[in-house]
Amino acid sequence: MNEMVITREQREARLEGMGCKRKRVEDIRFTQGKGQYVDDIKLPGMLHGDFVRSQYAHARIKRIDASRALALPGVIAVITAEELKPLGLHWMPTLAGDVQAVLADGKVCFQNQEIAFVVAENRYVVDDALQLVEVEYEELPVLVDPFTAMDPDAPVLRPDLDGKTVGAHGPRKHHNHIFEWTIGDKAATDEAFNSAEVTIKELISYHRTHPSPLETCQCLASFDKVKGELTLYGTFQAPHVIRTVASLLSKIPEHKIHVIAPDIGGGFGNKVGAYSGYICAIVASIVTGLPVKWVEDRMENLSTTSFARDYHMTTEIAATKDGKVTGLRVHVLADHGAFDACADPSKWPAGFMNIVTGSYDFPVAHLAVDGVYTNKAPGGVAYRCSFRVTEAAYCIERAMDVLAQKLGMDPADLRMKNFIRREQFPYQSALGWEYDSGDYHLAMQKAMDAIGYRELRAEQKARQDAFRRGETREIMGIGVTFFTEIVGAGPSKNCDILGVAMFDSAEIRIHPTGSIIARMGSKSQGQGHETTWAQIIATELGIPADDIMIEEGNTDTAPYGLGTYGSRSTPVAGAAIAMAARKIKNKAQMIAAHLLEVSEYDLEWDIDGFRVKGNPERSKTMKEIAWAAYNAPPPGLEPGLEAVNYYDPPNMTYPFGAYFCVMDIDVDTGVARIRRFYALDDCGTRINPMIIEGQVHGGLTEAFAIAMGQEIKYDEMGNVQGASFMDFFLPTAVETPHWETDHTVTPSPHHPIGAKGVGESPNVGGVPCFSNAVNDAFGFLGSTHIQMPHDAWRVWEAAKRLGLHQ
Amino acid sequence: MDMSEIDTIPVTVTVNGRKVQRFVEPRTLLIHFLREELNLTGAHIGCETSHCGACTVEIDGQSVKSCTMFAVQADGSAVTTVEGLANPDGTLHALQEGFRQMHGLQCGYCTPGMLMRAKVLLSENPDPTEAEIRHGIAGNLCRCTGYQNIVKAIQYAAAKLNGREFQEAAE
Ligand code: FES
Ligand code: FES
């Protein structure tokens, strides 16, 4: 038989397992317009709902009159807080331990806050009716600047918290204070600063922005009154969590709630939380007995569901004269908006901000974070990063450059001097993490060689001289960044969401004919899980990836999982897949031994089956074993071949990377032209290099947008500025630079396949790299730190401040 | 305005080669007509302000953002959506193949609009340079891919349609 003569390489290749650039399974339907996203789903009798929203950032609501709206033909209901009160649903708990008004309860605290939910026969009538709901306001003083939030006479934003001197994360110092979170050895850190030869101090702000996936947040709720069952389709990055939250809030038993996350048009952290739209659609469906769809428009998306960042980080480094860091001290003023709706693990009000020591061997460090309320939208999601990791990376990477400048040292050399060394792993950081693995010097050197770093510095020097001589109006910046991420939340000992430990899960079933269906608690929003999860199983079990179907997002069939965000899917769900596969493999070995009439210990795994040690002619493929599992299992062994694994990771994973950016800035226009961008990523074992590169390209493009202009701004009245694609910077193919990618591989020692996760590294490393390049360009003119975002206007202003415009 | 006061107007359009007639409110946007009347959900809505291009379809040989056009304005024209992109024999269009081969999509939400835009781009300029492709798709936003592989996907399709082999591998 031909089958018998194929080579081992061919057997291996046809599996399309880990490490190969397998083409994506998802693309077949997406390229033919056959994806199924929430708004594509239509149910008989379906109604539509949308919100009347506040015009003001801070106001008392004196009256809501929906009578004209209700009189409009086609309008079915108008729901306000008054209607939700009897159900106890006018407020909802947030993931951060605060509460948030589902519909404004007598008062609005940010512009575009939800006031009433209008339900009508179609979306056009909804829009008509929204105009007819009359709301009478009494304006209140507005608080926009977080630096004045704790002034003695600052307006009271949250009277519902009146008298609450202790919040979910400890004492509150002021009526607009949410929490103070501190970590590290303060006394030792202060001592390091007292005895330091050199110190720097800089206020490094990371502005407010928004994940803005191309598909907005949306859901379709359908309550079956007869069965008492709720089916909820939605753009959910964490469908099981949504089911639990929906059950706790609605009191519908969890087994009677069917949450389905179909195809999702990008998430980037926007689709983790629970929003008023979900609650109102559910309530409206219960009330009307009909399915109700809620689809955000873009303005609603940008101005209400989940901003990101808004961290103001006062950063100090202590060092020796020759550039050895001796201490790090950071204070963060965190603007959380009107409600603390951060999507962080419960015990981490500032996420994993304590990764702020970065890639460097700081002997001591101290971090304090104060969260405050302002009249802005709630949120604080991890926009393509693990919880607050991009803020931390920006903070330390910018500060290292400020230190280099003060010392007169090259920023790459300063980093090299202070890296955690390879032999120090597993490394205990001063702020409490255990870094799993890394070879930072190797990665940095490889990157510097690849980009020709020393030559670039020489060129920059020559160009600076030319600029000084007035021969050019362009300045050249070289951005250097070396980031360490912390992803894969997380171990149950320190990570939970609303009390549910942050494990993840996989269930694999092998059918009698040797094909597979596997289901996970994760949920792809474009990451390509249907492709890559099958690759892990293919390698583990020797079944071709094309014979493996991956299903996610249906909470009735998938095992409970905490969802996909914070680069947790590969570290956690990916591990669960490997572990479930290994359970199957153990049983398969018993079956093979039975079939071959040898002891299990006489068998060894060989690509796609077991063979007898020393007698490779005698073997059973996984397909043969699968048939036997259903046809003639060994006596005493259960038939069937399937397994479930719930994986509680022993530690986080710590991907890292070295990024370099070269840009030229015209000081008269403020326009920055990206000449090169080189990204070296180490995400441990690489499952599908094609998908990794795609993730890096996408994350870098988001980083480029954030660093170079993307911002959610407010004016002094609390009016949100730029909540449309007209103003909110999303780069097109024209502005987007060309990306060069590279890698090193340092597997995670505690992960079953050594993978660390990559989706968010480029955003985490990219933002400081662009910002460092801008700052590096201006450094020789006496500037130390220019705040992001670096759009042409602000860059031009920076040049003006430096007296470059005569 | 009272719905019952609004008259509906007949619209006749050839969509993906099939003639359809419906009565619609004059204010019905073409994107809603396609998605909700005709159940062609390939074209997506990303902004409704003509910025993102997720709703791009082809009308009489031109690229149109269907969120910014009324269905009645399409009366008498031929509309092609992503559902009509594959070759008449059912095989995939070179662009559909190119997007898969070059990893030109991730979440897939922008993809139908990108594909339909790229189709018209290649009909106007069968062998575009990278810069021409980048300018040619500047009306279509993608939040996932960073465009680099979309450019390659379009180059792949251009090569194939011109009878050449495309060598570049997906990054
Ligand atoms: S939905 Fe039409 S351009 Fe965005
Ligand atoms: S693939 Fe997600 S927006 Fe383009």
- What is the DSSP annotation of A139-156? E------GGGTTSTT---
Which amino acid is residue A434, in one-letter code? E
The angle subtended at Cα A404 by Cα A401 and Cα A410, nearest 5°, is: 100
Q: How many helices (H) and strands (E) does chain A have?
A: 20, 37
**Torsion angle, CA of A609/A610/A614/A615, rounded to 10 degrees?**
-70
Candidates A390, A377, A489; CA nearest to A702 is: A390
ipTM score of the complex?
A: 0.97
Ligand 1 centroid from CA B22, angstroms: 23
Q: Rounded to whole angstroms, how far apart are CA atoms A701 and A74?
A: 43
Chain B partners within 8 Å of A26 (Cβ): 108
Out of A15-24, A179-188, A274-283, A378-387, least confident range: A378-387
Residue B37 touches chain A, beta carbons under 8 Å: no
Strand partners, A469: none
- The response to whether residue B106 sits with its C-beta less than 6 Å from ligand 2 reads yes
Q: Rounded to whole angstroms, how far apart are CA atoms A556 and A233?
A: 12
The angle subtended at Cα A699 by Cα A695 and Cα A705, nearest 5°, is: 150
Residue A725 touches chain B, beta carbons under 8 Å: yes
Which of the ligands is closest to the CA of residue B44?
1
Q: What is the mean pLDDT of residues A133-142?
A: 98
Ligand 1 centroid from CA B44, angstroms: 8
Residue A45: which region, alpha, beta or left (left: phi > 0; alpha: psi -120 to 50)? Answer: left
Which amino acid is residue A736, in one-letter code? T
Which of the ligands is closest to the CA of residue B149?
2
Q: Which of B41, B46, B143 sits opposite A40 (nearest CB)?
A: B41
Q: Rounded to whole angstroms, how far apart are CA atoms A234 and A34?
A: 18
Strands A672-682 vs A740-743: parallel, antiparallel or unpaired:
parallel
Residue B94 touches chain A, beta carbons under 8 Å: no
Q: Rounded to whole angstroms, how far apart are CA atoms A377 and A393?
A: 24
Q: Rounded to whole angstroms, how far apart are CA atoms B66 and B50?
A: 8
How many angstroms away from the CA of B8 is the closest CA of chain A? 14
Residue B145 touches chain A, beta carbons under 8 Å: yes
- The response to whether residue B146 sits with its C-beta less than 6 Å from ligand 2 reads no
- Judge whether A513 lies within some domain: yes
Is the CA virtual torsion A243, A247, A250, A255 positive or negative?
A: positive
Q: Are residues A15 and A53 in the same domain?
A: no
Half-sphere exposure of A665 (CA within 13 A, CB side): 31
Which amino acid is residue A704, in one-letter code? F
Residue B169 pLDDT grade (very low, low, confident, very high; cuts 50, 70, 90): low
pTM for this entry: 0.97
- The response to whether residue B50 sits with its C-beta less than 6 Å from ligand 1 reads yes
- DSSP of A217-259, one letter per residue? -EEEEEEETTTTEEEEEE--SSHHHHHHHHHHHH---GGGEEE
Residue A68 touches chain B, beta carbons under 8 Å: no
Q: What is the mean pLDDT of residues A181-204?
A: 98
Q: Are residues A16 and A48 in the same domain?
A: no
Which amino acid is residue B133, in one-letter code? I
Neighbours of B135 (CB within 10 A): 15
Q: Using CA coordinates, name the residue in chain A closest to B131.
A: A734
Q: Using CA coordinates, name the residue in chain A closest to B148.
A: A738
Q: Are residues A451 and A464 in the same domain?
A: yes
Q: What is the mean pLDDT of residues B129-145?
A: 98
pLDDT score at A3: 53
Ligand 1 centroid from CA B54, angstroms: 5
- The response to whether residue B105 sits with its C-beta less than 6 Å from ligand 2 reads yes
Residue B70 touches chain A, beta carbons under 8 Å: no
Q: Are residues A525 and A628 in the same domain?
A: yes
Q: Using CA coordinates, name the residue in chain B closest to A524.
A: B107
**Residue minimizing CA distance to atom 3 of ligand 1:** B50
Which of the ligands is closest to the CA of residue B109?
2
- Judge whether A223 lies within some domain: yes
pLDDT tens for each residue of A249-261? 999 999 999 999 9
Q: What is the mean pLDDT of residues A706-735?
A: 96
Answer yes or no: are the C-beta atoms of A261 and A199 closer than 8 Å: no
Chain B partners within 8 Å of A268 (Cβ): 143
Is the CA virtual torsion A178, A181, A187, A191 positive or negative?
A: negative
In A452-498, which residue ranges form alpha helices assigned H by DSSP?
A: 453-468
Q: Rounded to whole angstroms, how far apart are CA atoms B137 and B143?
A: 14
Residue A702 touches chain B, beta carbons under 8 Å: yes
pLDDT score at B1: 45
Work out which ligand 1 atom sits closest to the CA atom of B67.
2
How many angstroms away from the CA of A548 is the closest CA of chain B? 19
- The response to whether residue B144 sits with its C-beta less than 6 Å from ligand 2 reads yes
Chain B partners within 8 Å of A213 (Cβ): 107, 109, 143
Answer yes or no: are the C-beta atoms of A22 and A543 closer than 8 Å: no
Answer yes or no: are the C-beta atoms of A35 and A43 closer than 8 Å: no
Residue A723 touches chain B, beta carbons under 8 Å: no
Q: Are residues A528 and A621 in the same domain?
A: yes
- The response to whether residue B45 sits with its C-beta less than 6 Å from ligand 1 reads yes
pLDDT tens for each residue of A510-541? 999 999 999 999 999 999 999 999 999 999 99
Q: Which of B143, B145, B151 sits opposite A730 (nearest CB)?
A: B143
**Mean pLDDT over all residues of chain A?**
96
Answer yes or no: are the C-beta atoms of B11 and B21 closer than 8 Å: yes
Q: Rounded to whole angstroms, how far apart are CA atoms A355 and A390?
A: 10
Q: Are residues A454 and A585 in the same domain?
A: no
- For residue A110, the 8-state DSSP code is S
Q: Rounded to whole angstroms, how far apart are CA atoms A630 and A582?
A: 19
Q: Cβ–Cβ of B147/A730 closer than 8 Å? A: no
Chain B partners within 8 Å of A128 (Cβ): 1
Burial class (CB in 10 A: 0-12, 13-18, 19+), A12: middle
Look at residues A647, A674, A696 and tell me which one is the last residue of a structural domain. Answer: A647
Q: Which residues of A are catalytic?
A: 237, 384-385, 760
- For residue A768, the 8-state DSSP code is H
**Residue minimizing CA distance to atom 4 of ligand 2:** B142
Helix H or strand E encompassing A517: strand A516-520
Q: Are residues A67 and A108 in the same domain?
A: yes
Q: Rounded to whole angstroms, how far apart are CA atoms B25 and B11?
A: 10
Q: What is the CA radius of gyration of chain A?
A: 28
Q: How many structural domains comprise chain A?
A: 3
Is the pLDDT at A765 greater than 80? The verdict is: yes
Q: Rounded to whole angstroms, how far apart are CA atoms A387 and A383?
A: 9
- The response to whether residue B145 sits with its C-beta less than 6 Å from ligand 2 reads yes
Output the domain CATH number for residue A224: 3.90.1170.50
Ligand 1 centroid from CA A296, angstroms: 14
Ligand 1 centroid from CA B65, angstroms: 6
Q: Which of A73, A297, A725 sits opposite B2 (nearest CB)?
A: A73
The end-to-end CA distance of chain A, in Å, is 83
- Judge whether A183 lies within some domain: no
Q: What tokens does A332 get?
A: 């963060």
CB pairs < 8 Å spanning A and B: 193
Answer yes or no: are the C-beta atoms of A578 and A17 closer than 8 Å: no
Mark which residues 5-34 of B lie under 8 Å from A by CB.
25, 27-28, 32
Q: Which of B47, B99, B137 sits opposite A298 (nearest CB)?
A: B47
- Judge whether A194 lies within some domain: no
Ligand 2 centroid from CA A390, angstroms: 22
Q: Rounded to whole angstroms, how far apart are CA atoms B104 and B111?
A: 8
Burial class (CB in 10 A: 0-12, 13-18, 19+), A22: buried
Q: Using CA coordinates, name the residue in chain B closest to A300.
A: B47
- Judge whether A196 lies within some domain: no
- Judge whether A293 lies within some domain: yes
Work out which ligand 2 atom sits closest to the CA atom of A215.
3
Is the pLDDT at B4 greater than 60? The verdict is: no
How many angstroms away from the CA of B76 is the closest CA of chain A? 24
Q: Are residues A743 and A627 in the same domain?
A: no
Burial class (CB in 10 A: 0-12, 13-18, 19+), B17: exposed
Residue B7 pLDDT grade (very low, low, confident, very high; cuts 50, 70, 90): confident
Q: Are residues A475 and A514 in the same domain?
A: no
Strands A177-184 vs A365-372: parallel, antiparallel or unpaired:
antiparallel
Neighbours of A34 (CB within 10 A): 16
Residue B107 pLDDT grade (very low, low, confident, very high; cuts 50, 70, 90): very high
Residue A559 touches chain B, beta carbons under 8 Å: no
Residue B5 pLDDT grade (very low, low, confident, very high; cuts 50, 70, 90): low
Half-sphere exposure of A36 (CA within 13 A, CB side): 8
- The response to whether residue B139 sits with its C-beta less than 6 Å from ligand 1 reads no
Q: What are phi and psi of A111, to 5 degrees?
A: -65, 140
Answer yes or no: are the C-beta atoms of A312 and A333 closer than 8 Å: yes
- DSSP of A576-623, one letter per residue? HHHHHHHHHHHHHHHHHHHHHTS-GGGEEE-SSEEEETTEEEEEEEHH
Output the domain CATH number for residue A617: 3.30.365.10
Is the pLDDT at A63 greater than 60? The verdict is: yes
pLDDT tens for each residue of A358-375? 999 999 999 999 999 999
Neighbours of A63 (CB within 10 A): 9
Domain limits at A540?
A: 9-35+504-647
Q: Cβ–Cβ of B141/A124 closer than 8 Å? A: no
- The response to whether residue B142 sits with its C-beta less than 6 Å from ligand 2 reads yes
Q: Cβ–Cβ of B46/A31 closer than 8 Å? A: no
Q: Cβ–Cβ of B145/A697 closer than 8 Å? A: yes
pLDDT score at A374: 98
Helix H or strand E encompassing A798: helix A792-801
CA A74, distance to chain mean position in Å, is 40
Q: What is the mean pLDDT of residues A306-319?
A: 97
Interface test with A, best of B47, B95, B132, B133 (most A CBs within 10 A): B47
Q: Rounded to whole angstroms, how far apart are CA atoms A509 and A513?
A: 11
Answer yes or no: are the C-beta atoms of A579 and A505 closer than 8 Å: no
pLDDT tens for each residue of A442-464? 999 999 999 999 999 999 999 99
- A314-347 as b/e: b if 16+ CB within 10 A: bbbbbbeeebbbbbbbbbbbbbbbbbbbbbbbbe
pLDDT score at B6: 65
Q: Which of B108, B135, B146 sits opposite A30 (nearest CB)?
A: B108
- Judge whether A578 lies within some domain: yes
Answer yes or no: are the C-beta atoms of A411 and A396 closer than 8 Å: no
Q: Are residues A513 and A605 in the same domain?
A: yes
- A553-565 as b/e: b if 16+ CB within 10 A: bebeebbbbbbbb
- The response to whether residue B67 sits with its C-beta less than 6 Å from ligand 1 reads yes
Q: Are residues A85 and A118 in the same domain?
A: yes
Residues in chain A: 806
Helix H or strand E encompassing A541: helix A529-541
pLDDT tens for each residue of A77-95? 999 999 999 999 999 999 8
Q: Cβ–Cβ of B83/A33 closer than 8 Å? A: yes
pLDDT score at A343: 85
Candidates A647, A609, A600, A642; CA nearest to A489 is: A647
Q: What is the mean pLDDT of residues A145-168?
A: 97
Residue A533: which region, alpha, beta or left (left: phi > 0; alpha: psi -120 to 50)? Answer: alpha
Is the pLDDT at A670 greater than 50? The verdict is: yes
Is the pLDDT at A222 greater than 90? The verdict is: yes
Candidates A750, A770, A649, A743; CA nearest to A439 is: A743
Q: Are residues A517 and A590 in the same domain?
A: yes
Look at residues A647, A668, A694 and tell me which one is the last residue of a structural domain. Answer: A647
pLDDT score at A806: 77
Q: Which residue is listed with tokens 């070289």? A: A478
Cis ω before A490 (30° cut-off from 0): yes
Strands B18-24 vs A365-372: parallel, antiparallel or unpaired:
unpaired
- Judge whether A794 lies within some domain: yes
Helix H or strand E encompassing A496: strand A496-497
Q: What percent of chain A lies above the pLDDT cut of 70?
A: 100
Neighbours of A403 (CB within 10 A): 24
Is the pLDDT at A1 greater than 50? The verdict is: no
